[in-house]
Chains A and B, each alone.
Chain A
């Protein structure tokens, strides 16, 4: 699966990296988000669920989770 972060939308709320630390991390001083280790992640149901929780928590709707 892939997790995409729309850099134009992300405002550094940090909801994703504070709730799902294993998947997301801040990439700058504002707290704009990045996916740990890059956007392609294993098709593990737990990882997919965590990515979806983070996407759901984003007030800017900046995170898209793509599964096959």
Chain B
């Protein structure tokens, strides 16, 4: 078909080159209307979940549905990403090690530093009246937040973005390039952890360097598993979620005006943007033969859980395609659910709220530039990755 809407589960491939913003959600709706779970021929065969109740049920049985591997086809990684690719009972021990820096209390302390970052980024373009806000805000903001969270030098931001992009978006097409990025990332963090062992400074890397499980220091494999996840999960996911949010605001002036005029709506509106634009589409693997939701899974079967599709299931969200900023109930699954609930969710939510507060305060009339073409990033971390906008120029606020 000309618009490339996927007609059958058997043809579904989340990396297919013809996926666009125009057809991605229509394909999901089309598949879900046939059945909430179906079988694709891609990657040696995989189940694809598009229904909300079905995604919820699978996520609530981590013993039967392991989160290793999380990625189809897998990243060229040597070790499991920790904690997300670990299962009970180890999962809990790993997760507890890094819980404090991701706590609500700590996230709250990040609000003013985040506000300062956003305002500095806005200062850099506000006098021009136009920019690609994906490049000026959605890209650097999560990276800078990630460097603060993890205790990394912000001078290496470009390096982190480059590795993250290659690993997440090139593993399916150019395994070698992605593999080199993984090796560079491991070498970088290996050296950094050596340094933190000698000079601990209370940051996340020092915490990992000194962490113990059952009286033993973490192995190099475990440390690299943590570092790969912590870096890519802080950066790429938020970039895509923010890109999609800004694209939707730039194309929906009535929604933009409503939020600019009533900032109290922003926290609830952020949940609605998260629902509509879930960046992460994780995978699971059946650990035994089982029947769930009427489907016979065999041990070893891989399952792609399209959280973005589950979040647009009319059975759970009436008028699912509409952005309703005060939608209630809104039990979206964007941060996952059950034991793998996104560790960074508390900080990510505040990151998006602060961004909207400041952007709508300083350039309340921004809109998509004439002739701007949408660029959609597909795969397992999805979102709009180009958002050219124009707006009434304003003054810088910083020195």
Contacts and interface: CB of A to CB of B under 8 A. Distances in A.
A13 B268 CA distance: 14
Main secondary structure of the interface of B (DSSP, over half): helix
B271 interface: yes
**Residue with the greatest number of chain B CB neighbours at <10 A, chosen from A12, A15, A19, A29:** A29
A6 B268 CA distance: 24
Main secondary structure of the interface of A (DSSP, over half): loop
Contacts of A13: 335, 337, 341, 345
Contacts of A11: 337-339, 341
B331 A31 contact: no
A18 B104 CA distance: 10
Contacts, number: 54
Interface in B283-340: 328-333, 335, 337-339
B23 interface: no
Interface stretch (B95-103, B194-202, B217-225, B354-362): B95-103
A59 interface: yes
Contacts of A53: 328-329
Interface residues of B, number: 24
B346 interface: yes
Interface string A10-53: 01111101110000001011110000000000000000000001
Given A11-B338, A59-B332, A30 B103 contact: yes
Contacts of B100: 29
Contacts of A1: none
Contacts of B341: 11-13
A57 B104 contact: no
Given A57-B329, A57-B331, A31 B104 contact: yes
A5 interface: no
Interface of B: 56, 99-100, 102-105, 267-268, 271, 328-333, 335, 337-339, 341, 345-346, 349
Q: Which 9 A-B pairs have the closest CB atoms?
A: A56-B329, A29-B103, A26-B104, A29-B99, A59-B331, A11-B341, A31-B104, A59-B337, A29-B100
Given A14-B349, A60-B338, 6 more contacts: A11-B337, A13-B341, A15-B271, A19-B267, A26-B105, A59-B337
